[in-house]
């Protein structure tokens, strides 16, 4: 289950439908990610980019595998710097 996506969505006052419209990711995929039926660690990068862009968070914020989080943070730091 990915509480980060759900928590960020709720903080923004968005429904799953609203997030789907803004992110370009289907409601079914968002639901699956939030409920744990689909892992963010195995999601397509364009799915994560769409969701995280819409929520104003980094991809590393929604990953759970420590190795992936570390690798993504390194990429994000290089991209921002």
Q: pLDDT tens-digit profile of 20-35?
A: 999 999 999 999 999 9
| Total tally of structural domains belonging to the chain | 1
User: Long-range contacts made by residues 8-13, C-beta under 8 angstroms, separation at least 24?
Assistant: 8/55, 8/56, 8/57, 8/61, 9/34, 9/55, 12/55, 12/56
pLDDT of residue 31: 97
pLDDT for the residue 76:
86
Identify the pLDDT of residue 12.
Answer: 95
Domain housing 71: 3-80
Q: Which has more confidence, 80 or 36?
A: 36
pLDDT of residue 1: 59
Domain at 14, CATH number: 1.10.260.40
């Amino acid at each position: 289950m990915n509480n980060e996506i759900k928590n960020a969505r709720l903080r923004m006052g968005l429904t799953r439908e609203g997030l789907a419209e803004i992110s370009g990711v289907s409601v079914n995929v968002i639901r699956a990610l939030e409920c744990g039926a689909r892992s963010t660690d195995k999601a397509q990068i364009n799915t994560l980019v769409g969701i995280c862009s819409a929520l104003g968070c980094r991809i590393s914020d929604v990953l759970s595998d420590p190795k992936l989080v570390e690798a993504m943070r390194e990429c994000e730091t290089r991209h921002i710097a």
